Amino acid sequence: MEIKVTITEREAVVALEGEAQVDESRVIADEFRKLSKIDKPIIAIDLSGLTTIDITFIQLLYSLSNTLMNDGKHLMIFQLPREHPVLRRSSLSGIRFEHHFTMVERTG
């Protein structure tokens, strides 16, 4: 799994690539902890580079969202095509991203 963070004046943009499954959960959790400490009001996440996820990743993402919200910050996830593996896999797990996360169109 590869994680790239770009920090702008108003947000941190995080791009994830590869597989986000239980085997990578420690690395993902460590990176998400670092993200929660970034002094920006918005953390935007690009999941388009992920090839597969499991429930562990969804739980970590949900935990990050709650942590940010408690700190007065906001997690946004860039919209994905309906057929993207992340949305397909989460749907099979009974989780609809748009009900649990703020999905936004990527601009610029």
Note the pLDDT of residue 98: 83
Structure tokens at 48: 């388009």
Note the pLDDT of residue 35: 92
Question: 3-state DSSP call for residue 48?
Answer: strand
Q: How many residues are given for the chain? A: 108
61 vs 102: CA distance, rounded Å: 12
> pLDDT tens digits for the chain (108 residues)?
899 999 999 899 999 999 999 999 999 999 999 999 999 999 999 999 999 999 999 999 999 999 999 999 999 999 999 899 999 988 888 888 888 899 999 876
| β-bridge pairing 11-20 and 2-7 | antiparallel
Structure tokens at 33: 């902890």
14 vs 23: CA distance, rounded Å: 20
Note the pLDDT of residue 107: 78
Residue 49: closest CA among 22, 27, 17: 17
Note the pLDDT of residue 106: 85
Residue tagged 């970590």 (tokens)? 60
Note the pLDDT of residue 108: 62
* All domains of the chain in start order, with CATH: 2-104 (3.30.750.24)
**Contact partners, residue 4, CB within 8 Å, separation at least 6:** 14, 15, 17
